[in-house]
Amino acid sequence: MKVLIPKSKPAKGAVGKTGLWRTSKPVVNHNKCIKCVICWAFCPETTILRFEDNSVDIDYEYCKGCGVCANECPVNAIEMVED
Amino acid sequence: MSIIEDKKSLSNVKVVTANEAVALAVKCAKVDVVGAYPISPQTSIMEYLTKYIETENIPMEIVRVESEHSAMAVAMGAAAVGARAFTATASQGLLYMAEMVYWVGGSRLPVVMAITSRAMGAPWILGNEHTDVLLPREWGWMVLFPEDNQEVFDTIIQAYKLADTTLVPVVVGLDGFILSHTTMPISIPDQSIIDNFIPKNTPKPYALNTEDPFTHGNAVHSNLYLEFRHNIFKTIEDSEDLVDEIDKEWSKLTGRSYGGVIEEFLLDDAEVAVLVMGASSGDAKEAAKKVREKYGIKAGVIRLRSIRPFPVKRLSKIAQKVKAIGVFDRNMSPGLGGMIATEVKFALYDLKNRPIVQSYIGGLGGKDVKIADFENILVELKEMVDGKREVEKVKWVGLDLAAIEKFLEEV
């Protein structure tokens, strides 16, 4: 019997488009954002998109809407809105 | 074979408890990493291992953790990088460890764990029973159950062979207190025999590798999980012959054979047989001899050594010969029967001429089970064969309901 070991390589969206799980979504207010990238560091699913100038946006295909980014933002530049 | 006959290794005889036999076997298996958390009656295994590390300077790491859950997590992490891993627990400790036990089974990591059997609360209890040892049989582990201290040592070594070959982790159960704290002589084979029997350079397709990183147990979709479970099922199902082969190979090296998945005692001409696991088997064997002498009943003993793989093939062969099997379970499945009795019935149901199978439950929480109890079972089985006694769903051994009423009245 060939042994099947449940191992896997890290890959984007290994269990599918987790954005479908969301009930509310984070929205970045770019006027308020100070580009500290704290949201990027805290996001448990690495769905904060970080650009060269340290501005950020959300990868809505995979963001589960947990709200950690909105909670951690020091200037309240991220708001959770119903999806 | 007795210790005295085993002249080859007479120089290596030690008089030890079964817990020290476990520790000696773990040392001789050159285990790399041990996850350690104390719980009676297992604790002295870890104490002995610590002593060996301190006094003999062996290259083994014992990681003292904050819970059984973490003890198994340590063993899992060590096994996942290709190290040889061990842990031990019992009773409540196994229940707390359960989540990680299941993860190790699913991840196909060849960890070996000793469980010194002990009943579980409530009510709080220290005494021996086998329910805890049997639980991992549903968790993707093999489960072996030796009878005495020598066999405990040998079975730990055999367990690494079985785990490394199948990539299924193995539980070795031993009777708490009755065996774990009882002293007997054991013979320890030359280290070179053990090194050759369980080499460390077996293929390790599960081992993490920094050159080619992967993870264990990442989420899968529903279309894959059934297939992984099927693979575990088939591997364990197909291992019945392997347990026999490992026992034979060990016997060639040491002169000690235990019959593989089942030890057959006086079964050649037996009409009735009691099926039993672990230390009580000695009493059952005495009982079989006595009822042969006293009543002329052709009695034998089926000692179940392997619970996973469950020995369906061997048991079916035995069932062609005997007319009644009394399964003595030192455990229970509430409201149904003994756990092993239900499995024996499942295994034999499809046979055309299947024997009577009577479930007996007793010895829970360390309650004494005597030779006379096994004699009684064998006599009852003979009466069932002769049509003088009805088979019941479950029969209880040593049940004293008056005593419990008196206890509760006094509360």
Q: How many domains would you assign to chain B?
A: 2
pLDDT value at residue B5: 55
Domain check: are B179 and B304 in the same one?
no
Per-residue pLDDT of chain B (411 residues; tens, 9 = 90+): 455 555 554 569 999 999 999 999 999 999 999 999 999 999 999 999 999 999 999 999 999 999 999 999 999 999 999 999 999 999 999 999 999 999 999 999 999 999 999 999 999 999 999 999 999 999 999 999 999 999 999 999 999 999 999 999 999 999 999 999 999 999 999 999 999 999 999 999 999 999 999 998 888 888 899 999 999 999 999 999 999 999 999 999 999 999 999 999 999 999 999 999 999 999 999 999 999 999 999 999 999 999 999 999 999 999 999 999 999 999 999 999 999 999 999 999 999 999 999 999 999 999 999 999 999 999 999 999 999 999 999 999 999 999 999 999 998
Q: Mind listing the pLDDT tens digit for each residue in A8-31?
A: 887 888 778 999 999 999 999 999
Query: Does the residue B146 lie in any domain?
Result: yes
- How far, in Å, CA of B29 to CA of B43, rounded? 19
- Residue B137 in 3-state DSSP? helix
Q: Which residue of chain A is at minimal alpha-carbon distance from B103?
A: A6
Q: Mind listing the pLDDT tens digit for each residue in A30-74?
A: 999 999 999 999 999 999 999 999 999 999 999 999 999 999 999
pLDDT value at residue A15: 77
Q: Could you give the count of Cα atoms lying within 13 Å of A56 in the half-sphere of its Cβ?
A: 26
How would you label B196-222 residue by residue, b for 16+ Cβ within 10 Å and e otherwise?
ebbeeeeebebeeeeeeeeebbeeeee
CB contact under 8 Å between A1 and B235, yes or no, is yes
Domain check: are B233 and B292 in the same one?
no
Which of B168, B218, B232, B233 is the best residue to mutate to test the A interface, defined by the most A CB atoms within 10 Å of its own CB?
A: B218
Residue B377: phi and psi, rounded to 5, are -60, -45
- Residue B222 in 3-state DSSP? helix
- Identity (one letter) of the amino acid at B282? G
Residues of B in contact with A8 (CB under 8 A): 214-215, 218, 220
- Identity (one letter) of the amino acid at B227? E
Domain check: are B223 and B273 in the same one?
no
Domain range for B127: 7-253
pLDDT value at residue A83: 86
Domain check: are B282 and B376 in the same one?
yes
* Cβ atoms within 10 Å, residue B183: 12
ipTM above 0.90, yes or no: no
Residues belonging to chain B with any Cβ–Cβ distance to chain A shorter than 8 Å: 106-108, 166-167, 205-206, 213-221, 227-228, 231, 234-235, 238
| Alpha-carbon distances, residue B244 vs A7, B163, B248, B259 (angstroms) | 31, 14, 6, 7
Of all helices (H) and strands (E), which one includes residue B261?
Answer: none
- Identity (one letter) of the amino acid at B129? E
Judge whether B168 and B111 are in contact, CB under 8 Å: no
- How far, in Å, CA of B160 to CA of B168, rounded? 10
Domain check: are B220 and B275 in the same one?
no
pLDDT value at residue B64: 96
Residue A76 in tokens: 């309240």
Query: Does the residue B190 lie in any domain?
Result: yes
Domain check: are B219 and B281 in the same one?
no
Task: Give the one of A3, A8, A10 whose C-beta lies nearest to B108's C-beta.
Answer: A3
Domain check: are B80 and B97 in the same one?
yes
Domain check: are B353 and B244 in the same one?
no
The domains of chain A, with CATH numbers, are 18-82 (3.30.70.20)
Which of B210, B215, B222 is the best residue to mutate to test the A interface, defined by the most A CB atoms within 10 Å of its own CB?
A: B215
Domain check: are B193 and B285 in the same one?
no
Q: Name residue B85's beta-bridge partners.
A: B33
Domain check: are B204 and B283 in the same one?
no
Q: Which residue of chain B is at minimal alpha-carbon distance from A14?
A: B219
Residues of A in contact with B108 (CB under 8 A): 3-6
Query: Does the residue B78 lie in any domain?
Result: yes
The CATH number that applies at residue B391 is 3.40.50.920
- Residue B349 carries which DSSP code? T
Query: Does the residue B2 lie in any domain?
Result: no
pLDDT value at residue B52: 97
